[in-house]
Structure 1
């Protein structure tokens, strides 16, 4: 023992970590006991001193002797309740000369003592509650373990019963086998002759052959054992290969006797291993009964289960999504079936396929339904479901500005009127003062509201632009010049407005000119079912002048009032939808599309899809050139960020992810390729057309072109105008059209197809110019669509075959035929009318039937060559490569004139 510590405090005290105790008026000590493996234990020992009893204390009992400090003291019994109560009371002070006097507790010590007792009661209550919870858990665990033991015992009893039945069946099988073997042994013994000796036994008069060392014959055969096993091994079997001995013969001379083999060590019970097949004989000869191992028993159960027909598993019926085309492997994966099963089913139907073959949706549906699955047919176009025209709740709609389209004939002042409203000068930027681009602008009306204007070209080639403007508009303003009246494009604009079902407002422009006649315009509009208000109709009309600004404010007020009547509303708090008004390829900014937002709000960072192109909005630019963060409904804005130039007129929609955008654009690109292939195959002539062209003598000629423009709308208009140019003999064929400058690839394509390159408001780069010079490809630049169409018409006119026109010169009658050496037959003729010229075209007519057409090779007057012979004179004529002439035939002379054709 070591580390003894004796505290010196013998008074009443309170410790924070222990309960309140009343220390004995004896000395205590803590002794630490050391054990093996480094363990130790602290033990509290008490040392009691003997008290000296003085007078007056004789009735007290002597103190107990001190306990030895050798081991841990035995625990003291807990004091009873009355004793504890008496110990808490202050003891009376009795004066004694040799005793200890206890002082009275103070209020602080009493409060501390009560607090300690209260805490002790709480801890005891918590310990009791924890003990009850532990006892409950222990009881539940024991009940659960008991149930498990009972289940295990039940399973063990069932296993023992099964083993007992198996042993009973095996015992019966062994008894049956013994009975059959005994019957077979008794049958040969009964049929053997009486004097015949058993093989291996001694013959009469001859001693039996001695057994080999270490071998003995059993005294009797075991019941039920086979004869071969009961007799033991034959000695002849050991001598094979070295000459077998006869039974009973001794060893050969000169050969030593074979040593006897050492006896085999007996097998220990723990070293037994099953070798060979377990038979009835081997099982009965052994000292112990041999049984099957657990592995053999499991194999036997497996064989028994395999022999019984397994119940077919319940197949799961799945809903298989089948697109328009699908491979056999993908179909099998979606049905969770084997691919060979699908191919086998197809083979039953007489179709041979590989697992990678593609089948149509109808065949896939038949296969899936045959295999017990349900089918959900989907089309490739389903990727566009929910992309456009999702309905909005009525409470989410808010008023939006109207979209007004300015339409009319060329040079009637549409752009000038819009410039006067916007206080801009767009006309100055157009080549020749002719609008060839579609533009979108937003202005503020005098009433305070905003109005979005769309300006359309008036040229006949820009029909698609006007149709696109009427499609996205709310109100159409028809501009008619007061000095010109209703023109073809004016009528076309009226038809577009009627087809779109939008209200029409007539603006009679150029009233400031001296020859202006607004009443003429009103009268001409009646022919096209447009009745203005001044003539009792419902169509608003305004007499304006873009040059001096007359009545422009009235026009804007009328537009605002018309918009209020229409009650135009849209939901700005949703994904944006709109239409591409114009698109172009900017060298510095990339593809730029002018988008008119129709629903929702388009913001920077949105993922948008337009036709076969998609992209993330990198920037939004207003019509004033300022960058904006978002575009509200009815607001035009230039969108930057497309990965390609979209087509004008494509609808724009915001999608939730790039994966959805790629899926939609991939489908649209495949559709566009199919349309282009169909269009190309449609342009190819059929065999009947080729045969007709060959019969007529010439096929249809094509004027191939490569067109590049600055904006999508201009390219669309140029291609549409060129497709209309031509006739049944010659036609223009645009093999490629695009937006942007002329590149080297365009020159390569033109060289391969023999085409000319046309640039509209674009130029070729340096590499393209050098490649065009090397290849001899012509590049023509234009900025006015009139000049472009006229030049193409003129070039195509040169490809037309000229018109041949005949002019009759005269006729002659053959009087006599002369044969001239080295010349052939010469016809002596008299000119009856007109003149006959040398080298002219002639026809030989016999009995009013033309029998030859050719040229006049020689014309002689007597013996001299003559250039022409007039009527009434005689001459000699000879034809080129023709000699069959007779007297009385008529010769008709004429001249063929070629007239150049134009488109």
Structure 2
């Protein structure tokens, strides 16, 4: 099918070869058209005469040459008939009714039709203008809503940014991915809205153009359709389901509209097909995080609103770095450094500043400073400081038994609690604190603490006096007041606790209680018999006499003190003793001062912490809880507490751990400071007096108190020349780690009431480490003193032997000069030390190399005899010189 031009210049359709038309019953023809890709279509064909000027005037002549499909005689128009559209006309050569003239319109009809067409055109133009105005108003409203939404999103983004700082990296990553997905969806929605608005505008403009075109072509359509108004539509005309093919006068050709692709339909795939695209498991394409960051940065740069500064409450510890301070204020480190420079402090971001300087910087930048200290973690430990009087109930008195060694403290305690503990103690002395509870006949309870009496246990006696309510001073009636008795009196007075004097061993023939009372007067202990206010009781632990009076004195003193405590609160107390046991771990003897200790409580004691796994009373039986003045053994300790540490129950495990870590850091700092100070002092001492010989020692004991006592005793043995260096002091058995420590320093291991396991013994034998086992502290001190004495340099004593005068000097070629001498005083020995005196001035001091009488070598020459003498490496001998002969004797020193 080709395009041809008629004589009027209008385009029309023509066929390269005639189409085969199939006649129908109504006189019309049907033509089957073929298109590309095998498509065909059947259309109705009607032949209509061309209407010229003659036809318009009613002078149209009948067409006589309509049988041939020529463009000169007729115009063939191919169209799809519609029920309401133009009525199809029958071919000219088959139908004679076409010769009828079309009716002419009157002037009034033409004017009315033109007016109607003009009014419709104006109405269409007004509708188009109103549509454009409504679209503009809708766009302005959308812009306003978008601006409000952007402002709300900005505020939400700022809040999200604050919250993101407190999020974990995983949470921040998920939040960024969700934000990226949200932004992508918003962009797609905005694009779809723009496309919809553009399509609506295009449709409105096209509708306006169509309306105008329809208004302009209405007269022509009316004129063309007038002759066919009375003709009915053919029965077989298409009902609008098929595509219409129209001939255009202006351009000609086929006009087929391509349907636009819907926005929700997927685009046609372009490029290579990948596995991910085929499986479609990647999901919708999202905007990258880098793109989102760039967009946000660009938005911030173009934002006209200045960023508002947020003022914060800044927590300032005792020491803080510049960078950390800047982070807490959300300020740049450069600004903080500038503030420090204004204060005259030159510091970098990594350097630390004190709390006072940090507070000045915080206030200068407009923030609020809040000072805290690292020790604030202990605030609130143990609950309220003071208990309400209504909650207090009476408690049992805590009594410490103190005195000198072998004055009968433990025997007296055994008599009170009807048990034998002395048989289990090495050497018959108490070497650690024991806590016991005694129930009297009237139901009253008394808690006893048995303290050691040896001078090495001074610290243990001091702790015993500090945690008790009453001190029983035991003095033997057949002995006098001893040094440890005086020390116990001083501890009791320092702790400000009342004293009850128990004069023991009154059953012995040599007992003299009045002598004890008189000696106590020298130390300001005035008993009642001497007109004082201190109670004294004469007792005998072996016979059991006077024990009831002692119990009455204790209860009377307790009533005067009005001892009360609150059991309905978290427990607090003191660590009496600590030890490491096989199978149970670290075990501590705790004396509860107030509150109630229960199984499962979290606690902190010194630098150790833990959870109460079990409570054992002094009999070894398990109990569920322990109230005030009750001594119990606590299991479940993490760490190594020291006897005398405070014990407190915390509300949670985290609180206990935090306090324990703080105390460990504090203890480590103190040790480092003390070590550094000692090192400097030792350096100056070594410069002044020379180096000090040290004896390295590793101490392992059964309980913490014994290890502490041994350490203090050995440190006191040191002098300016020799000293004991304690590498480690702990409790428990000897392990491989102790052997390794001793091997590194070639130290001696002291095992007090403890033993080494098989692996440790084998390793010690292989490395040659000496392990000394002891059960009595006397032996430890004596042996260490002997070792230190052996390390002392011996004393050198000079013993005078005699004088010899040089009478003649002989020069021998092979031997050098030899003096011919006569012994004037004492005797001279070969190999002895000699001094050469010239005019009573020492010229040389050395060793006698040769001593001869005549030609023979002799060992000794006595006074009045002549001999020949020669010095080692010295030959300046003159006649008249005197030779002083002496010897050096080494004498061992003792500490």
TM-score of the pair, normalised by structure 2: 0.65
Structure 1 residue corresponding to 2:373, chosen from 370, 379, 397: 379
Partner in structure 1 of residue 675 of structure 2: 680
How do 1:179-328 and structure 2 match up within 5 A?
313=308, 315-328=309-322
Residue 192 of structure 2 is matched in structure 1 by none
Structure 1 residue 811: deviation in Å?
1.3
1:342 counterpart residue number? 336
Q: Tell me the CA shift for residue 793 of structure 1.
A: 1.1
Offset at residue 354 of structure 1 (A) = 6.3
Distance 1:687 1:612 in 2: 29
Structure 1 runs of 4+ with >6 Å offset: 305-309, 347-354
- Match of 1:592? 587
1:736 to 722, 728, 737: 728
Shift of residue 310, structure 1, vs aligned partner: 5.5
SS of match in other structure, 1:646: coil
Once the two structures are superposed, residues 852-888 of structure 1 have per-residue CA deviations (whole angstroms, 9 ceiling, x without a partner) of 2222111122222222122222222111111122222
**Residue from 403, 406, 411 that aligns with 2:398:** 403
| Aligned-partner Cα distance in 2 for 1:679–1:550 | 52
**Whole-Å separation in 2 of the counterparts to 1:358 and 1:352:** 11
1:692, CA displacement in angstroms? 2.6
**How much does 1:832 deviate?**
1.6
Q: Distance in 1 between matches of 2:871 and 2:805?
A: 14
* Match of residue 634 from structure 2: 639
Deviation at 1:552, TM superposition (A): 0.7
Aligned to 1:539: 534
Aligned to 1:480: 475
Cα 1:449/1:688, change in 2 over 3 Å:
closer
**Among 489, 513, 525, the residue aligned to 1:530:** 525
2:482 maps to 1:490: no
Deviation at 1:373, TM superposition (A): 1.2
Which runs of structure 2 are paired with 1:497-516 in the superposition (5 Å)? 497-516=492-511
User: 1:341 and 1:689, CA in 2 relative to 1: closer, same or farther beyond 3 A?
Assistant: closer
3-state SS of paired residue (1:684): helix
Q: What are the residue-to-residue correspondences of 1:117-132 with 2, within 5 Å? A: none
1:809 aligns to 2:804 (yes or no): no
Counterpart check, 1:424 vs 2:419: yes
The residue that corresponds to 1:829 in the other structure is 821
Identify the match of residue 652 of structure 2 among 657, 666, 669: 657
2:838 equivalent to 1:849: no
Change (3 A) 1:776 1:838: same
CA distance in 1, matches of 2:323, 2:303: 34
Asked if 1:774 is matched to 2:763, the reply is no
Aligned position for 1:785: 777
Which of 676, 683, 687 is the aligned partner of 1:692?
687
Q: Counterparts of 2:813 and 2:307 in 1: how far apart (Å)?
A: 110
For residues 682 and 735 of structure 1, do their structure 2 counterparts lie closer, same or farther at Cα, with a shift above 3 Å needed? farther
User: Which of 509, 515, 518 does residue 520 from structure 1 map onto?
Assistant: 515
Change (3 A) 1:845 1:602: same
Q: CA deviation at 1:836?
A: 1.2
- 1:307 offset after TM fit, Å? 10
TM-superposed CA distance for 1:335, in Å, is 2.1
1:364 CA displacement: 2.4
Answer yes or no: is the 8 Å Cα contact 1:593–1:645 preserved in 2. Answer: no
Deviation at 1:393, TM superposition (A): 1.3
Give yes or no for contact 1:592–1:645 (8 Å, CA) kept in 2: no
CA contact 2:426–2:776 (8 Å) conserved in 1:
yes
Shift of 1:338: 4.2
Shift, 1:362, TM fit: 3.3
Q: Is the 1:322–1:375 contact (alpha carbons within 8 Å) kept by the matching residues of 2?
A: yes
Is the alpha carbon distance of 1:390 and 1:870 closer, same or farther for their aligned partners in structure 2, counting shifts above 3 Å?
A: same
2-side partners of 1:786 and 1:839: how far apart?
A: 45
Counterparts of 1:687 and 1:434, CA distance in 2: 37
Deviation at 1:324, TM superposition (A): 1.7
Assess if the C-alpha contact under 8 Å between 2:795 and 2:890 holds in 1.
yes
SS, match of residue 691 in structure 2: coil
Q: Alignment partner of 1:507: what SS? A: strand
Per-residue deviation, 1:758: 1.2
CA contact (8 A) 1:856 1:879 kept: yes
d(CA) in 2 for partners of 1:424, 1:847: 84
Residue 862 and residue 306 in structure 1: after superposition, are their counterparts in 2 closer, same or farther (change >3 A)?
A: closer
Task: Please say if 1:867 is aligned against 2:849.
Answer: no
Distance 2:877 2:304 in 1: 106
Indicate the residue corresponding to 1:434 in structure 2. Answer: 429
Match status 1:364 vs 2:358: yes
Q: What do the CA deviations read for 1:242-292 (whole angstroms, capped 9, x no partner)?
A: xxxxxxxxxxxxxxxxxxxx9xxxxxxxx9xxxxxxxxxxxxxxxxxxxxx
Distance in 2 separating the partners of 1:758 and 1:369: 59
CA deviation after TM superposition for structure 1 residue 447, in Å = 4.3
1:414 counterpart = 2:409: yes
Kept after mapping to 2: 8 A contact 1:328/1:359: yes
2:840 and 2:371 map into 1 onto residues whose CA distance is 76
Does the C-alpha gap of structure 1 residues 647 and 307 become closer, same or farther in structure 2, counting only changes over 3 Å?
closer
Specify which of 662, 670, 676 is matched with residue 667 of structure 1: 662
Q: Residue 607 of structure 2 contacts residue 640 of structure 2 at CA under 8 Å; is this kept in 1?
A: no
Which stretches in structure 1 are left out of the alignment for 5+ residues? 1-152, 164-261, 263-270, 272-302
In structure 2, what is the Cα distance between the partners aligned to 1:553 and 1:439?
22
Q: Which protein, 1 or 2, shows the higher relative CO under an 8 Å CA cutoff with sep ≥ 6?
A: 2
> 5 Å matches for 1:101-112?
none
CA shift, 1:446, in A, is: 4.2
Could you tell me whether the CA contact under 8 Å between 2:503 and 2:537 is conserved in 1?
yes
Matches within 5 A, 1:7-86: none
- 1:555 and 1:691 map into 2 onto residues whose CA distance is 56
Q: How does 1:557-576 map to 2 (within 5 A)?
A: 557-576=552-571
Distance 1:894 1:632 in 2: 78
The C-alpha deviation readout for 1:76-116, integer Å capped at 9, x for no partner, is xxxxxxxxxxxxxxxxxxxxxxxxxxxxxxxxxxxxxxxxx
- Give secondary structure in 2 for the equivalent of 1:798: helix
Does the CA contact (< 8 Å) of 1:580 and 1:593 recur in 2? Answer: yes
Contact 1:583 1:594 in 2 (8 A): yes
CA distance in 2, matches of 1:667, 1:529: 43
8 A contact 2:322–2:349 mirrored in 1: yes
C-alpha contact (below 8 Å) 1:743/1:765 kept by paired residues: yes
State the aligned residue count. Answer: 614
Partners in 2 of 1:623 and 1:868 — Cα distance? 77
Aligned counterparts of 1:355 and 1:823: Cα–Cα separation in 2: 80
Counterpart of 1:614 in structure 2 is: 609
Q: What do the CA deviations read for 1:456-509 (whole angstroms, capped 9, x no partner)?
A: 000111001000000101111011111111111001000000110111111111
Question: How far apart, in 2, do the equivalents of 1:348 and 1:466 lie?
Answer: 57
SS at match of 1:624: coil
Aligned to 1:579: 574
Q: 1:433 to 1:568 in 2, by over 3 A?
A: same
Contact 1:509-1:544 within 8 A present in 2 as well = yes
Tell me the CA shift for residue 378 of structure 1.
1.1
Paired position in structure 2 for 1:460: 455
Following superposition, the deviation at residue 410 of structure 1 comes to 0.7
Q: Deviations over 1:27-53 (max 9, x none)?
A: xxxxxxxxxxxxxxxxxxxxxxxxxxx
Distance of aligned partners of 1:691 and 1:398 in 2 relative to their CA distance in 1, 3 Å threshold? closer
Q: Can you list the C-alpha shifts for 1:215-253, whole angstroms capped at 9, x where unaligned?
A: xxxxxxxxxxxxxxxxxxxxxxxxxxxxxxxxxxxxxxx
Q: Which residue of 2 aligns with 1:603?
A: 598
Q: Distance in 2 between matches of 1:524 and 1:678?
A: 45
Deviations 1:406-456 (A, max 9, x none): 001111111111011111111111111111011101102344311110000
